[in-house]
Structure 1
Amino acid sequence: MEKNKSAVTQYNNAKLWQIGFFSLNNCATNIAMFLMMQYSYFTQNVLGLAAAIVGLIATGTRIFDAVTDPLVGFLVDRTNGRFGKFRPYMFVGNIIIWCSLIVIFNTPSAWSISRKYMFTTVFYVIYIIGYTCQTVVIKAGQAVLTNNPRQRPIFAGFDSVLTQMASALVPMLITTILAEKYSVGEFAGENGKSLGMINPAMWKEAVILLAVISFTFTILAIIGISAKDRPEFFGQEGFRPKVKFRDYKDIVMHNRPIQMLIISAATDKLGQLLMSGTMTYLFANMLLNSRLQGVFSSILIAPLVAISIGGVFVSRRFGLKRTFLLGTWGSMTMLAIMFVVGPDPNVPAVFLGMFLAQKCLASMGNSGIIPMIADCTDYEMYRSGRFVPGMMGTMFSFIDKIISSFSAMIQGFALTLAGVGNVVIKPNEPVNATFNMAIMVCFCIVPILGHIATIIAMRWYNLDKVKMAEIQEELENRREVRTGKGPHLNGATKAAAAEAVQNENRA
């Protein structure tokens, strides 16, 4: 009986509503990300900028984004003010994000080309600073919200449901609802081929609507984490070593799980961004029906919600690692079939049916990445005694963004090689066979390569369900040695924990 009691009390548990509310923070930033996935389309087809140059600029700014991550993560770990460690970065970050995006998507089309390049680039950089501040908390905040291995998959479920709904509803809002609304006057098109997607007024309304939704989600997320954003949840009670910037080197060199997770997630992210960036072209210029993208996005919601909820039960039973691998293998298989079959405008249901299956499988796997970062944070505390959720999250983001930064450049060069790099690509009209192949390589082949890298890297990621239970038990034993609180430890366990505590103190 005493043993069971100890097993229950060793965890920092969260209420269900706290997990749900905090997961809205990721959804808030994803809304901005899904809008910015249309950045290349907007700048080329509304502002008249060259795809290859925009791709290079986006790559450079994303590398800057990666460089800012370690600095912000370090600041988060050093922060412990009146409003906590995480909440200030969530609030300020969201304000910066949407002020920047409102400016970008209101760039006057009549300006000179050079002025538009300079203006959009400057505010893209400012947007990145805000995005970094808010997204750091997504990964770092998990470590204080709960350390229960059975609760972390619940966050993954909430996060996956909300993210997938956002990934479906944002494109539907832009490509179907608002594009239809703004297909008027010179943008009415001929023979029912609406041109609302290249109407500047459409983008101005879209950014305001999405800003309001994202800010509301951020406030709810702040409420969700407020009770846990306190010093007693920042690492082991009675032992909080001062965080130094040079600690990054030791973590990079010796924390094998975060190394492998970074490789897996970064290569997958590159593929995901390319899929999202080229999806508009796939619907508008290969399936020849841009409205279908919004319809398809709305159809996705129900199955993605179902698979996300199902994924929680799979993760709780088999662990985050096995669920991640299952989704990766399934997604890779479907992408290979999709590349062979290809999209046919006469029978779009065949390709879209496979695409739906691929999205569901990928969603089930990717939903566990953020909780896996929290597992790596706990492993670092187990390994070195350091509680550095900000460093862990931003080190992950640093490499992730460096690798995925090449997505815009790859897409830009792919369009340039297809001969459409600096022309307006009208929706609902075919382009050429080279264009079609370029889109399919970006949409299927690059993500497949990312999945292969994931499968290889996961062979050396050892934080499975059993290992995490062992880590949490050991951390609880050390806490009891330091504080003298909690169930009585037997001689051998107490001696082992005391030795670990002494090693941490010496370090």
Structure 2
Amino acid sequence: MSQIENTEVKGAVKYNTAKLWQIGLFPLNDAATNITMFLVTFYAFYTQNVLGLAAVVVGAIASIMRISDGVIDPIIGFIMDKTNTRFGKFRPFMLAGNLIMFVGIFSIFRVPASLPTTQKYILTTLAYAVYILGYTFQTTVTKGAQPCLTNDPKQRPTYVLFSSIYSTLVFSGGAFVLTSLMASKYAKNMIDPQLWKDASLVFMGFSFLCTILSIAALWNKDREEFFGLGGHSVKVKFRDYIDVIKNNKPIKMVILAACLDKLAITSVRAGLTYFCANILLDSAIQGKYSLYTIIPAFLIIYIGVGIARKNDSKKAFQTATVISLALLVVLLIGMPIFAKPNSWGPGLIILMSIMCVQQALLQLAGGMVMPMIADCSDYETYRSGRFIPGMMGALFAFVDKMISSLSTTIIGIAISLAGYGSVVIKPNTPMNSNFNIAVYFILFGLPLIGGIAGLIGMKFYNLDAAMMKKVRETIERNKAEASK
């Protein structure tokens, strides 16, 4: 395809557009990493209840390793922006990242429980380090490649539709497959070592397939003519990070808005396991509940993307967050009253339905961050002439990991304060009231904090529809002048 075949003139702006199938398949790169993230949300559960390791120690190790990995993000982003091979800028990182993650996930869930405690700590830590290195490779592409896929304001939010659908299928469908279909077939259910060995192969096989399909979607777009000013961008230097931090206000506001939300999303997925297994006393409910959330989540995401296409991503983010905060208040008040073991009255059913909607809204707000990062990258090209989507995505990921890395630690501390930090928490077994409070804080308290931070960030985020039209007009004009 030539550049002309991939552009469409709308008003004064000549947009780089993509085919629907390209927009539909490229988010599978995000799905591929979400599959691995789904498994890793059980990292604390697995290491404590299968390997017998202390929750606080494991949480601290995981947080330290993820923070260390965050330091690597800016390096990988810089290398990506300097890369331009015969296979493109982004595709080599996608494939390499997935293969590295495969090794890490495969190793985490094959650490023998019979080993001495010190060796189990060492092996799980090393395997986790391998996983997060590959995760960084591949997720940097998710954030970095969108500017060259499309800059059409009607198309970018469509990415969120597909990405959110895949994310819902991964986390809701994955929970159903793991906790309802697979776990019941093993002697020790969720704490059976063989379950995790088999699950790691099944889920990583799907992750690899998603990666290959995403690479195919990006194949004709991963070319220099779609990079910033069409190959005429300003030369990239590592110290450009300093200038971006000082002068690119939109990316700073996106980081503020999104990172605490990401911490909440990551923690909620792990907290839901304890909620179902130790408050409702039915671990199989998690898989069924997750399956029931799929259709409502699709409807909410579809409506949210419609708002973004009609207005902009900022409006969709704000709308989802405000409604989510209101529902969280209802859940915080109602759940301790109606969530009783093996008691499915109308109150609990209503609250679980509200929780389903609230989590879908949280997911929608998180999804809107992706086109915002692409807009921030375009804004940087408009502002400085630099095409540095890798560095922009890496800067976001750096802070994101610094904050979201705390999820395992927060869960570990909360469980420890409740008195269960160094014991096996058996499924379908009641705990004390302090444990219940800890779980409710994870499920509802953290998203409440994240939502408030999100609204503050969006108040000062200025890349609305009118501003982005100006950004794209200027880029097209500068690209034409540079080509003369």
Percent identity, aligned pairs only, is: 44
Shift of 1:270: 1.2
Q: Does residue 32 of structure 1 match 2:28?
A: no
Q: Structure 1 stretches of 5 or more lacking a match?
A: 188-195, 485-507
Change (3 A) 1:390 1:335: same
Task: Specify the code of the residue in structure 1 equivalent to 2:278.
Answer: N
Q: How does 1:368-379 map to 2 (within 5 A)?
A: 368-379=368-379
Residue-by-residue CA offset, 1:308-336 (whole Å, 9 max, x unaligned): 22222111012100100111111111111
CA distance in 2, matches of 1:216, 1:237: 31
CA distance in 1, matches of 2:363, 2:319: 11
Q: Does residue 351 of structure 1 match 2:355?
A: no
Partner of 1:399: 399
CA distance in 2, matches of 1:375, 1:100: 33
Task: Specify the code of the residue in structure 1 equivalent to 2:332.
Answer: F
CA distance in 2, matches of 1:15, 1:9: 18
Task: Specify the code of the residue in structure 2 equivalent to 1:436.
Answer: N
CA distance in 2, matches of 1:9, 1:272: 37
Partner of 1:46: 50
Shift of 1:467: 1.1
Conserved 8 A contact 2:33-2:139: yes
Residue-by-residue CA offset, 1:360-379 (whole Å, 9 max, x unaligned): 22233222111100000000
CA distance in 1, matches of 2:37, 2:11: 40
Change (3 A) 1:235 1:198: same
Conserved 8 A contact 2:13-2:469: no
Residue-by-residue CA offset, 1:215-256 (whole Å, 9 max, x unaligned): 000000000001011111111035222211000000011100
CA distance in 2, matches of 1:238, 1:108: 51
The match for 1:112 among 105, 116, 119 is: 116
The match for 1:147 among 135, 151, 169 is: 151
Residue-by-residue CA offset, 1:244-273 (whole Å, 9 max, x unaligned): 100000001110000000011111111111
CA distance in 1, matches of 2:229, 2:26: 22
Q: Does residue 229 of structure 1 match 2:222?
A: yes
Q: How does 1:315-326 map to 2 (within 5 A)?
A: 315-326=308-319
Larger displacement relative to structure 2 (173-182 or 473-482): 473-482
Task: Specify the code of the residue in structure 1 equivalent to 2:34.
Answer: N
Secondary structure of the corresponding residue to residue 427 of structure 2:
coil
Partner of 1:305: 298
CA distance in 2, matches of 1:87, 1:364: 27
Secondary structure of the corresponding residue to residue 11 of structure 1:
strand
Partner of 1:493: none
Shift of 1:354: 1.4
Q: How does 1:48-197 map to 2 (within 5 A)?
A: 48-182=52-186, 184=187, 187=188, 196-197=189-190
Task: Specify the code of the residue in structure 2 equivalent to 1:344.
Answer: K
Q: Structure 2 stretches of 5 or more lacking a match?
A: 1-7
CA distance in 1, matches of 2:63, 2:211: 27
Change (3 A) 1:357 1:207: same
The match for 1:267 among 260, 269, 288 is: 260
CA distance in 1, matches of 2:113, 2:98: 26
Shift of 1:99: 1.3
Larger displacement relative to structure 2 (29-38 or 472-481): 472-481
Partner of 2:5: none
Conserved 8 A contact 1:161-1:309: no
Task: Specify the code of the residue in structure 1 equivalent to 2:196.
Answer: W
Q: Does residue 203 of structure 1 match 2:200?
A: no
Q: Does residue 434 of structure 1 match 2:434?
A: yes
Change (3 A) 1:392 1:419: same
CA distance in 2, matches of 1:98, 1:206: 12
Conserved 8 A contact 2:42-2:270: yes
Partner of 2:334: 341
CA distance in 1, matches of 2:439, 2:359: 18
Task: Specify the code of the residue in structure 1 equivalent to 2:29.
Answer: N
Conserved 8 A contact 1:344-1:351: no
CA distance in 1, matches of 2:120, 2:294: 36
Task: Specify the code of the residue in structure 1 equivalent to 2:310.
Answer: R
Larger displacement relative to structure 2 (112-121 or 365-374): 365-374
Aligned residues: 470
Partner of 1:443: 443
Conserved 8 A contact 1:327-1:366: no
Task: Specify the code of the residue in structure 2 equivalent to 1:355.
Answer: M
Q: Does residue 279 of structure 1 match 2:292?
A: no
Partner of 1:250: 243
CA distance in 2, matches of 1:138, 1:377: 13
Shift of 1:400: 0.8
CA distance in 1, matches of 2:246, 2:234: 20
CA distance in 2, matches of 1:378, 1:180: 49
Residue-by-residue CA offset, 1:392-423 (whole Å, 9 max, x unaligned): 00000000110111111111111111110010
Partner of 2:4: none
CA distance in 1, matches of 2:127, 2:312: 41
Give the structure with higher Rg (CA). Answer: 1
Secondary structure of the corresponding residue to residue 62 of structure 2:
helix
Partner of 2:482: 482
Partner of 2:26: 22
Conserved 8 A contact 2:103-2:130: no
Task: Specify the code of the residue in structure 2 equivalent to 1:125.
Answer: A
Task: Specify the code of the residue in structure 2 equivalent to 1:455.
Answer: L
Task: Specify the code of the residue in structure 2 equivalent to 1:32.
Answer: T
Shift of 1:30: 0.3
TM-score normalised by structure 2 residue count: 0.95
CA distance in 2, matches of 1:238, 1:297: 45
Secondary structure of the corresponding residue to residue 10 of structure 1:
strand
Larger displacement relative to structure 2 (359-368 or 65-74): 359-368
Secondary structure of the corresponding residue to residue 293 of structure 2:
helix
Task: Specify the code of the residue in structure 2 equivalent to 1:201.
Answer: Q
Task: Specify the code of the residue in structure 2 equivalent to 1:23.
Answer: P
Task: Specify the code of the residue in structure 1 equivalent to 2:58.
Answer: V
Shift of 1:479: 1.8
Task: Specify the code of the residue in structure 1 equivalent to 2:176.
Answer: M
Q: Does residue 220 of structure 1 match 2:213?
A: yes
Conserved 8 A contact 1:324-1:365: yes
Task: Specify the code of the residue in structure 1 equivalent to 2:239.
Answer: R
Conserved 8 A contact 1:238-1:482: no
Conserved 8 A contact 2:97-2:138: yes
Conserved 8 A contact 2:261-2:362: no
Partner of 1:387: 387
Residue-by-residue CA offset, 1:155-185 (whole Å, 9 max, x unaligned): 1111111111111011111111111111x3x
Shift of 1:9: 6.2
